[in-house]
C-alpha cells in the first residue's frame, strides 16, 4: 500500500521562470537514467524479490523515495513554466519569458501538458519501460542500479552547471547528494552479496560447462598493445579462481560460416546465380 504526503521531500521552487531550462530538466525525469527509470526499476526489483527480506525492504525504501524525486522534478518543471505561453511574438523584446518560449521551449509543455511536466526525455522521446532491469538475480540487478545512479548523478551535475538559478541549484544539490548515497548503498550491497555469491554472475552455473581455456584470457582484437598493461590482462582474476592471460593474436577456431541453400518456397537467390551475374556483360542501351 502507498500513501501520499502533501509535502515534497525537499524544496523544488525556482527563483524565476525558465521555459528553456524546463525542457533540459526533462532528461533527469523521463530519460533513460532519469528518476522515473530508477523508480520503476527499484520497485519492480522489490516486488519480484523472493526470499530476501532485507533486500526487498531496502529496494522498496529507495523505490518509494524515487517516487518523491519524480514529484519534486515534475513540480520544478511546472513552476519553471509559469507565465510561459506566448500570446504575441511582438512581446518577445519586452518579456524575457516569452522570448524563452519562442527561442527553445518544448512546445508540448504548452500544447499537450498545459504548462506541466511529461514522462519524456529532453528531446521529447517518451519514457520506455525497457530502460529498467529486474532480472531476479540481486547481484546483477544491484550492479545495474549502481550504473543507473552513476549516470543519473552525472547528468544532474551537468544540469547544475547549466543554470545559475539558486532555487534550481538548491533542489539539484539535494538530488546529487542522494545519488551519492545511493551509489554508496549499491556498492555496499554488491560487496555484501559478493561475499556469499562470488564476483561473477550467476555463481550457480557449473564451471565444468565453460570453456576454461578462454575463461580468463583477455584478447587483443584491435590495433595497438596498450591494453596489455591493464589489471584485466595480468595477475589473479577478480573472482580469485584463475589468472588473467593476455593473448596478442587471437586465432579463429570455428568453422567457416557456409549456410545451406534455402528451400524453393523462400524464393531466395539460387546457389551460383550471384556469381553468374557478376560474369555477365553489362547491358547498355
For 79-114, the pLDDT digits (tens) are 999 976 554 444 544 566 555 555 678 888 888 888
Cα gap 22→76, rounded to integer Å: 8
Evaluate if residue 116 carries a pLDDT over 70. yes
pLDDT level of residue 278 (50, 70, 90 thresholds): low
Stretch 8-23: mean pLDDT = 95
User: Which class is domain 19-197?
Assistant: mainly alpha
In the chain, the N- to C-terminal Cα span, in Å, equals 77
Cis peptide, bond prior to residue 30, ω within 30 of zero: no
List helix spans (H) across 165-257. Answer: 166-197
Cβ atoms of residues 120 and 127 within 8 Å:
yes
Domain assignments of the chain as residue spans, ordered by start:
19-197, 207-247
Q: Is 140 helix (H, G, I), strand (E, B) or coil?
A: helix
Pairing of strands 243-247, 235-236: antiparallel
149 is in an annotated binding site: yes
61 in a labelled binding site: yes
Does 35 show up as a binding residue in the annotation? yes
109 is in an annotated binding site: no
Q: Which residues contact 44 (CB under 8 A, 6 or more apart)?
A: 132, 134
pLDDT in tens, 131-158: 999 999 999 999 999 999 999 999 999 9
Neighbours of 232 (CB within 10 A): 14
Burial of residue 34 (number of CB atoms within 10 Å: 0-12, 13-18, 19+): buried
Average confidence (pLDDT) over 205-222: 94
On the question of pLDDT at 59 being above 50, the answer is yes
- pLDDT for position 223: 93
Annotation-wise, does 87 bind a ligand? no
Confidence band (pLDDT; 50, 70, 90) for 271? confident
Residue 222 assigned ligand-binding role: yes
Q: Is 267 annotated as a binding residue?
A: no
Query: Is 182 labelled as part of a ligand binding site?
Result: yes
Distance CA 117, CA 46 (A): 27
Q: Mean per-residue pLDDT for 116-125?
A: 93
pTM: 0.86
Beta bridge partners of 120: 126
Q: Is the pLDDT of residue 222 over 90?
A: yes
Task: Average the pLDDT over 191-208 and give the result.
Answer: 94
Q: By C-alpha distance, which of 23, 16, 116 is closest to 75?
A: 116
Enumerate residues 6+ apart whose C-beta is below 8 A from 282. Answer: none
Mean pLDDT of the chain: 91
Task: State yes or no: pLDDT of 206 exceeds 70.
Answer: yes
Mean pLDDT is lowest, of 108-122, 129-143, 219-233, 268-282, for: 268-282
283: helix, coil or strand? coil
Q: Are 24 and 72 contacting, i.e. CB atoms less than 8 angstroms apart?
A: no
pLDDT at 93: 46
Q: What is the pLDDT of residue 112?
A: 86
Condensed to tens digits (0 to 9), the pLDDT of residues 224-255 reads: 999 999 999 999 999 999 999 999 999 999 99
Amino acid at each position: 500500500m502507498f500513501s501520499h504526503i502533501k509535502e515534497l521531500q525537499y524544496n523544488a521552487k525556482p527563483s524565476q521562470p525558465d521555459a528553456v531550462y524546463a525542457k533540459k530538466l526533462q532528461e533527469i525525469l523521463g530519460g533513460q537514467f532519469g528518476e522515473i527509470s530508477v523508480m520503476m526499476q527499484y520497485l519492480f526489483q522489490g516486488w519480484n524479490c523472493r526470499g530476501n527480506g532485507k533486500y526487498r525492504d531496502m529496494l522498496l525504501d529507495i523505490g518509494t523515495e524515487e517516487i518523491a524525486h519524480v514529484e519534486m522534478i515534475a513540480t520544478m518543471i511546472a513552476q519553471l513554466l509559469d507565465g510561459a505561453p506566448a500570446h504575441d511574438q511582438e512581446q518577445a523584446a519586452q518579456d524575457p519569458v516569452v522570448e524563452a518560449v519562442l527561442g527553445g521551449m518544448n512546445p508540448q509543455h504548452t500544447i499537450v501538458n498545459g504548462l506541466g511536466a511529461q514522462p519524456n526525455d529532453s528531446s521529447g522521446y517518451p519514457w520506455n519501460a525497457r530502460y529498467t532491469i529486474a532480472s531476479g538475480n540481486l547481484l546483477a540487478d544491484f550492479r545495474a542500479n549502481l550504473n543507473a545512479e552513476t549516470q543519473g548523478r552525472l547528468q544532474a551535475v551537468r544540469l547544475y552547471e547549466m543554470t545559475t538559478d539558486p532555487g534550481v541549484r538548491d533542489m539539484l544539490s539535494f538530488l546529487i547528494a542522494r545519488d551519492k548515497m545511493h551509489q554508496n548503498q549499491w556498492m555496499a550491497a554488491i560487496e555484501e552479496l559478493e561475499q556469499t555469491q562470488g564476483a561473477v554472475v550467476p555463481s550457480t552455473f557449473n564451471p565444468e560447462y565453460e570453456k576454461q581455456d578462454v575463461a580468463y584470457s583477455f584478447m587483443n582484437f584491435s590495433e595497438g598493445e596498450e591494453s596489455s598493461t591493464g589489471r584485466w590482462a595480468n595477475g589473479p582474476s577478480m573472482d580469485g579462481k584463475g589468472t588473467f592471460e593476455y593473448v596478442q593474436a587471437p586465432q579463429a577456431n570455428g568453422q567457416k560460416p557456409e549456410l545451406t541453400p534455402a528451400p524453393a518456397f523462400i524464393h531466395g537467390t539460387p546457389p551460383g546465380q550471384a556469381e553468374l551475374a557478376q560474369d555477365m556483360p553489362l547491358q547498355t542501351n
